[in-house]
């Protein structure tokens, strides 16, 4: 082992399919020695209860390979997990990081007592980095806005550098008191190559699914893939689609609390179809079922929307609402997708109409541009930008 490497401790709740590839890339760098401390020890067996999908998930891609990690004992007995502030109680966390000899620490999310304790303890001792994706897109009452401003100004006093995922997130950190020189951007990313290079087999599976759904080869497909929950607003998409008379189809992939309502609304409409939840290995084929992907979220809390990254990597143009955090960074209006006003059914109908009348060939051209755009939002770039931010604190 090269003792001159900077030892970077990362604090995160649990293995996440979007973060693990970044950790692997950083761990492979000659300049950094990475160790991830996971605070939700109850999911160490790989199974996570996901309320949005309404099921227990176990991802079918490796999330714990290629980097050093440990699960730190969580002593919370009542509703353990990141859903509530005291759901992560890790008395061994700070001692474990100190014992390992970390030169710097990067914390993902502050809204658990353990993670906030790490920020406060190590501030002034070693460089403290913070990674989050919050935005200012969600409206709040004046009273709540003032209270939140005071709270977050206090929290971010303990952060030396925030590593933002994009422009909306950067503006958020500025708003809550961090100086421009304290905010660096490392793009919110997916494993672009895994989606872009899925190959002919992935396309064949997508074509097979289309055929099973009874969709004619020449007819364009509008795709929604994700949780059937109110934040994502899939019902708005269904309502807007029903107003379009052009020969096209809408496919929903996933499940969740709105599943029964969506199926009831779609009853008798031969152009609206449903597919069950698909795990990560199948997602490159899922995106290829569609010719344009839609994320109609109204929020609150659609801080990014990584499904857009995945769809674009699969050479699909995208449609997103104005409340989707990623829209500002990823979408060039009319070139690789469209943005519509969140919650506005007429605005969504118009962009859907604009998309489907182009036909599959027209959408394919926009998809080529979308895929090129995705090449600026890769795992490799994200890892390098994070590493650059950390190493800059140690330059003499």
Q: Which residue range is the domain that position 169 belongs to?
A: 6-189+378-392
User: Is the per-residue pLDDT at 51 higher than 60?
Assistant: no
Among residues 65, 63, 93, 88, which one has the least CA distance to residue 78?
Answer: 88
Give the pLDDT of residue 16.
93
> Does residue 1 lie in a domain region?
no
Give the pLDDT of residue 1.
40
Q: Are residues 26 and 125 in the same domain?
A: yes
Return d(Cα 321, Cα 272) in angstroms, integer: 21
> Does residue 280 lie in a domain region?
yes
Return d(Cα 239, Cα 349) in angstroms, integer: 9
Q: What is the DSSP letter of 235?
A: H
> Does residue 79 lie in a domain region?
yes
Give the pLDDT of residue 58.
73
Higher-confidence residue of 255 and 396: namely 255
Q: Are residues 265 and 355 in the same domain?
A: yes
Return d(Cα 195, Cα 288) in angstroms, integer: 10
Return d(Cα 328, Cα 332) in angstroms, integer: 8
Cβ atoms 104, 6 nearer than 8 A: yes
Structure-derived torsion over alpha carbons of residues 113, 114, 116, 120, reported in degrees to the nearest 10: 120
Among residues 79, 80, 106, 96, which one has the least CA distance to residue 393?
Answer: 106
Among residues 324, 359, 325, 357, which one has the least CA distance to residue 343?
Answer: 324
Give the pLDDT of residue 140.
81
Phi-psi region of 99 (alpha: psi -120 to 50; beta: other; left: phi over 0): alpha
Cβ atoms 293, 318 nearer than 8 A: yes
Q: Which residues of 47-65 are buried (b: 16+ CB within 10 A; e: fewer)?
A: ebeeebbbeebebeeebee
Integer angstrom CA distances of residue 325 from 16, 125, 246, 328? 19, 33, 30, 7
Model confidence at 242, pLDDT cuts 50, 70, 90, reads very high
Q: Are residues 262 and 365 in the same domain?
A: yes
Q: Are residues 141 and 206 in the same domain?
A: no
Give the pLDDT of residue 54.
53
Give the pLDDT of residue 396.
63
User: Is the per-residue pLDDT at 147 higher than 70?
Assistant: yes
Q: Are residues 232 and 274 in the same domain?
A: yes
- Please, what is the average pLDDT of the chain? 94
Q: Are residues 138 and 17 in the same domain?
A: yes
Q: What is the average pLDDT across 12-39?
A: 96
Q: Are residues 182 and 206 in the same domain?
A: no
SS3 content of the chain, % helix, strand, coil (to 5): 40, 15, 40
CATH of the domain at 78: 3.40.50.2000
Return d(Cα 133, Cα 306) in angstroms, integer: 11
pLDDT tens track for 311-362: 999 999 999 999 999 999 999 999 999 999 999 999 999 999 999 999 999 9
Strand partners, 258: none
Q: What percent of the chain has pLDDT over 90?
A: 90
Q: Are residues 232 and 135 in the same domain?
A: no
Return d(Cα 153, Cα 322) in angstroms, integer: 26
Model confidence at 52, pLDDT cuts 50, 70, 90, reads low
User: Is the per-residue pLDDT at 47 higher than 90?
Assistant: no
pLDDT tens track for 256-306: 999 999 999 999 999 999 999 998 889 999 999 999 999 999 999 999 999
> Does residue 85 lie in a domain region?
yes
> Does residue 251 lie in a domain region?
yes
Q: Are residues 327 and 340 in the same domain?
A: yes
Give the pLDDT of residue 143.
84
Distance of CA 253 to the CA centre of its chain: 17
> Does residue 131 lie in a domain region?
yes
Q: Are residues 264 and 334 in the same domain?
A: yes
pLDDT tens track for 59-116: 678 899 999 999 999 999 999 999 999 999 999 999 999 999 999 999 999 999 999 9
> Does residue 56 lie in a domain region?
yes
pLDDT tens track for 297-314: 999 999 999 999 999 999
Give the pLDDT of residue 279.
87
Give the pLDDT of residue 280.
87
> Alpha helices, DSSP H only, in 166-223?
167-175, 192-196, 199-212
pLDDT tens track for 158-181: 999 999 999 999 999 999 999 999
> Alpha helices, DSSP H only, in 39-107?
93-100
Return d(Cα 192, Cα 201) in angstroms, integer: 17
Give the pLDDT of residue 73.
97
Give the sheet arrangement for strand 104-108, strand by strand: 68-71, 32-38, 6-12, 104-108, 128-131, 161-164, 183-185
Q: Are residues 124 and 42 in the same domain?
A: yes
Other beta carbons less than 10 A from residue 28's beta carbon: 12
Q: What is the average pLDDT across 180-209?
A: 94
Strand partners, 225: 253
Q: What is the DSSP string of 381-394?
A: HHHHHHHHHHHHTT
Residue 47's φ and ψ, nearest 5 degrees, are: -100, 130
Q: Are residues 16 and 87 in the same domain?
A: yes
> Does residue 386 lie in a domain region?
yes
Q: Total domain count for the chain?
A: 2
Return d(Cα 97, Cα 115) in angstroms, integer: 12
Give the pLDDT of residue 2.
46
Q: What is the average pLDDT across 13-24?
A: 95
Return d(Cα 42, Cα 30) in angstroms, integer: 32
Return d(Cα 183, Cα 170) in angstroms, integer: 7
Structure-derived torsion over alpha carbons of residues 323, 328, 334, 339, reported in degrees to the nearest 10: 10
């Amino acid at each position: 082992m090269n003792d001159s490497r900077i030892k970077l401790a990362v604090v995160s709740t649990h293995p996440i399919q979007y973060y693990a590839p970044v950790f692997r890339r950083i761990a492979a760098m000659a300049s950094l020695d990475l160790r991830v401390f996971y605070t939700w020890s109850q999911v160490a067996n790989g199974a996570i209860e996901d309320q949005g999908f309404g099921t227990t998930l176990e991802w079918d891609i490796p999330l714990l390979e290629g980097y050093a990690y440990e699960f730190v004992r969580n002593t919370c007995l009542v509703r353990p997990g990141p859903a509530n502030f005291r759901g992560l109680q890790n008395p061994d966390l700070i001692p474990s990081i100190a014992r390992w000899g970390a030169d710097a620490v990067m914390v993902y999310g502050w809204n658990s007592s353990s993670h906030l304790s790490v920020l406060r303890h190590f501030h002034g001792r070693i460089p403290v980095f913070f990674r989050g994706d919050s935005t200012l897109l969600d409206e709040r009452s004046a009273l709540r806005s003032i209270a939140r401003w005071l709270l977050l100004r206090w929290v971010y006093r303990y952060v030396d550098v925030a590593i933002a995922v994009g422009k909306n997130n950067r503006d958020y950190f500025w708003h809550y008191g961090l100086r421009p020189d304290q905010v660096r951007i490392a793009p919110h990313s997916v494993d672009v190559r895994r989606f872009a290079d899925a190959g002919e087999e992935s396309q064949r599976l997508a074509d097979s699914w289309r055929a099973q759904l009874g969709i004619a080869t020449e007819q364009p497909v509008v795709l929604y893939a994700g949780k059937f929950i109110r934040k994502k607003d899939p019902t708005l998409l269904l309502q807007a689609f029903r107003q379009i008379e052009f020969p096209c189809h809408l496919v929903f992939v996933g499940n969740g609390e709105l599943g029964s309502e969506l199926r009831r609304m779609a009853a008798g409409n031969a152009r609206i179809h449903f597919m069950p939840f698909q795990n990560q290995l199948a997602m490159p084929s899922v995106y290829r079922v569609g010719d344009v992907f839609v994320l109609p979220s109204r929020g609150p809390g659609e801080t990014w929307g990584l499904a857009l990254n995945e769809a674009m990597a699969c050479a699909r143009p995208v449609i997103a609402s104005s409340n989707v955090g990623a829209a500002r960074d990823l979408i060039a209006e009319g070139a690789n997708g469209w943005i519509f006003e969140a919650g506005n059914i007429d605005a969504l109908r118009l962009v859907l109409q604009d998309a489907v009348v182009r036909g599959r060939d027209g959408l394919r051209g926009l998809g080529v541009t979308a895929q090129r755009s995705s090449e600026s939002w890769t795992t490799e770039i994200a890892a390098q930008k994070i590493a650059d931010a950390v190493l800059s604190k140690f330059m003499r």
